[in-house]
Copies of this chain bind each other. A is one copy, B any other.
Amino acid sequence: MDKRKVDVAIIGAGTAGLTAYNAARKHTDNLVLIEGSHYGTTCARVGCMPSKLLIAAAESAHDAENTGLFGIQVGDIVVNGEKVLERVRKERDKFVRSVLASVDAIPSAHKLLGCARFVAPHRLVVGEEIEIIADRIVIATGSNPNIPDMFQGLGERLLVNDSLFELPSLPESVAVFGTGVVGLELGQALSRLGVRVRMFGRSGSLGGIADKEIRDYAEQCFSEEFYLDTHSEVTDISSVDGGVSIGFVHRDKGAVTELFDYTLVATGRSPNLEKLALHNSGLALDDNGIPLTEPSTLQCGSSPVFLVGDANQQAPVLHEAAYEGRIAGDNAGQYPKVISSERQAPFSVVFSNPQIASVGVPVGRMSAVERENYVAGNCSFEDQGRSKVIGKNRGILKVYAERNSGLFVGAEMFGPAAEHIGHLLAWAVQQRLTVSTMLAMPFYHPVIEEGVRTALRELHEKLIKTDTEVNPCMECGPGS
Contact = CB atoms under 8 A, between A and B. Distances in A.
Contacts of A365: none
Contact of A427 (B48, B83, B424, B476): B424
A44 B477 CA distance: 8
Interface residues of A, number: 100
B79 A72 contact: yes
A446 B391 contact: no
A78 B18 CA distance: 51
A112 interface: no
A74 B65 CA distance: 9
B474 A19 contact: yes
A441 B430 CA distance: 7
Contact of A445 (B70, B81, B318): B318
B71 A84 contact: yes
B441 A426 contact: yes
A94 to B, nearest CB: 8
Interface string A14-33: 01001101100010000000
Interface string A39-53: 001011000110011
A449 B357 CA distance: 15
Contacts of A424: 420, 423-424, 427
Interface stretch (A141-149, A302-310, A381-389): A381-389
B77 A344 contact: no
B389 A91 contact: yes
Among A15, A41, A61, A475, find the residue whose CB has the most chain B CB atoms closer than 10 A: A475
A98 B21 CA distance: 58
A7 interface: no
B349 A473 contact: no
B102 A442 contact: no
Interface string A455-480: 00000000000001011011111110
Contact of A44 (B61, B99, B430, B478): B478
A447 B419 contact: yes
A372 interface: no
B344 A442 contact: yes
B95 A385 contact: yes
A176 to B, nearest CB: 21
Contacts of A59: 390
A43 B477 CA distance: 7
Contacts of A427: 424, 427-428, 441-442
A476 B322 contact: yes
A446 B49 contact: yes
- In this complex, the member of A22, A52, A94, A446 whose beta carbon has the largest number of chain B beta carbons within 10 angstroms is A446
Nearest to A43: B477
B442 A319 contact: yes
A345 interface: yes
A440 interface: yes
A56 interface: yes
A121 interface: no
Nearest to A343: B442
A282 to B, nearest CB: 29
A432 to B, nearest CB: 11
Nearest to A18: B474
Nearest to A105: B471
Interface in A167-218: none
A67 interface: yes
A171 to B, nearest CB: 15
Contact of A80 (B72, B101, B102, B419): B72
10 contacts: A19-B474, A26-B468, A43-B478, A44-B478, A61-B70, A64-B72, A73-B79, A74-B74, A105-B471, A417-B417
Given A60-B69, A347-B442, 19 more contacts: A19-B474, A22-B470, A44-B479, A48-B445, A49-B385, A49-B446, A52-B386, A57-B70, A59-B390, A60-B63, A71-B86, A71-B87, A72-B80, A322-B475, A344-B442, A349-B444, A422-B444, A423-B443, A427-B442
